[in-house]
Amino acid sequence: KEWMSESRTVVFYESPHRIARCLRELEEHLGGDRPACVVREISKLHETFHRGSVAELAAYFSAHEAKGEIVVVLGAAL
């Protein structure tokens, strides 16, 4: 996938049912140190932000169920 080596920030939508798997795959292919943010219900009353490394976010979403619309902000490759 071309965007995995992108030198800029990458923003994409993900299903709440696939977010844990997506983050685990990102960790596997990109390494766990890449910074990221998972935003739930962006621009709505109950929006939440989860910031950390891809590894930290993968662990969090493997243990917690995600609901709502999910946006992933993946930091640029260093």
Q: How many CB atoms lie within 10 A of CB 43?
A: 8
Query: How is the chain split into domains, by residue range?
Result: 2-74
Buried b (16+ CB within 10 A) or exposed e, 49-72: ebeebbbbbbbbbeeeebeebbbb
The model's confidence at residue 77, banded by pLDDT at 50, 70 and 90, is confident
pLDDT digits (tens, 9 = 90+) for 50-64: 999 999 999 999 999
CATH architecture under which domain 2-74 falls = 2-Layer Sandwich (3.30)
Burial zone of 1 (CB within 10 Å; 0-12 exposed, 13-18 middle, 19+ buried): exposed
Q: Which residue has the higher pLDDT, 7 or 46?
A: 46
pTM for this entry: 0.89
Average pLDDT of the chain is 92
pLDDT for the residue 1: 62
State yes or no: pLDDT of 7 exceeds 90.
Answer: no
